[in-house]
Amino acid sequence: MRVVRTVSELRDALRPARREHSTIGFVPTMGALHAGHEALMEQARRECDVVVLSIFVNPTQFNDPTDLERYPRTEEADVAAAERAGVDLVFAPFAQEMYPRGATIEVRLEGPLVDTLEGAHRGSDHFHGVTTVVAKLFNIVQPDVAYFGQKDAQQVLVVTALVRELNFPVRIQAVQTVREPDGLAMSSRNVHVQGRNRERALALKAGLDSAQATYDGGERDADAVIAASVAAMASYEVDPEYLAIVDRVTLEPLRTVEPGALVVVAAPVGPVRLIDNATIH
Ligand code: AMP
């Protein structure tokens, strides 16, 4: 496995694979790798000839400067995890390599996919940062398949729309959320969730489970299901920033809960903001 820092090194390293028409799988990350990232790398390893991992804490997608500042950076351990997962090439550029002249270009998706939920609460600039860096990374790596976690369900939809609108010849593959044994969705930000907050963090999964249980109990009215979930979270002393039941493709709020509906939640827990989601079945 090689670690490269520049676009030209990456292109050189991928030239033989491209000449041989090998399939290239790509896993974009911000590092601080955990078992969720490992699931992405492992699926890429199973499905593709060559696996590229990127590690780049993209400043343009952070709406909160403190969040960017304290975002965990663990490159040495990340490189070891990538090696274990069978990654062929790690692309770990410095910001200067990705934005040599600063933020001089932006790739913007417009519309409800970027305006709602995370876009409404973090600001749609968050997704503009995501689409810009993903477009750049797709042009740099030129993968056949790119792997994204379902934990960031809205991001999967945004990136899928990006690929469709800009005609990138890339297939987007969503990978199921990996959780801690007690149900907490793995996240790089979980390192900042400690002590009492670690228990409070279970509120998000409890809210999602409650939505399913309320639905299983026969309730179909979205507002009633949401109210029960918010109450379940309150018993952990957590107040969601939003808890919504939406169409899993358009993200439009649903009035009636049906199988396939997406339950999405975001909540502050101690010093961080966590998100999670589940599909009603
Ligand atoms: P990040 O490094 O947080 O930007 O995440 C990089 C990729 O890993 C994104 O596609 C995330 O959705 C995905 N990811 C993060 N956490 C998990 C998780 N718990 N399970 C599955 N995928 C995840």
Q: For 53-79, what is the mean pLDDT?
A: 94
Q: For 121-144, what is the mean pLDDT?
A: 97
Separation of alpha carbons 153 and 177, rounded Å: 10
What is the 65 CA–ligand 1 centroid distance (Å)? 20
Does 43 sit in the ligand 1 pocket, CB within 6 Å? Answer: no
- For residue 176, give the ligand 1 atom closest to its CA: 21
- Name the pLDDT band for 128 (thresholds 50, 70, 90): very high
Q: Ligand 1, from 37, 137, 205: best to mutate by most atoms within 8 Å of Cβ?
A: 37
> For the whole model, what pTM was predicted?
0.97
Q: For 269-281, what is the mean pLDDT?
A: 97
- Nearest CA residue ID for atom 17, ligand 1: 36
What is the 152 CA–ligand 1 centroid distance (Å)? 7
DSSP-derived secondary structure for 121-179? HH-THHHHHHHHHHHHHHHHH--SEEEEEGGGHHHHHHHHHHHHHTT-S-EEEEEPPPB
pLDDT tens digits along 198-215: 999 999 999 999 999 999
What is the predicted pLDDT for the residue at 240? 98
pLDDT tens digits along 138-197: 999 999 999 999 999 999 999 999 999 999 999 999 999 999 999 999 999 999 999 999
Q: For 98-113, what is the mean pLDDT?
A: 94
Output the furthest CA–CA distance in the chain (Å, rounded): 58
Is 37 a residue of the active site? yes
Does 27 sit in the ligand 1 pocket, CB within 6 Å? Answer: no
- Name the pLDDT band for 103 (thresholds 50, 70, 90): confident
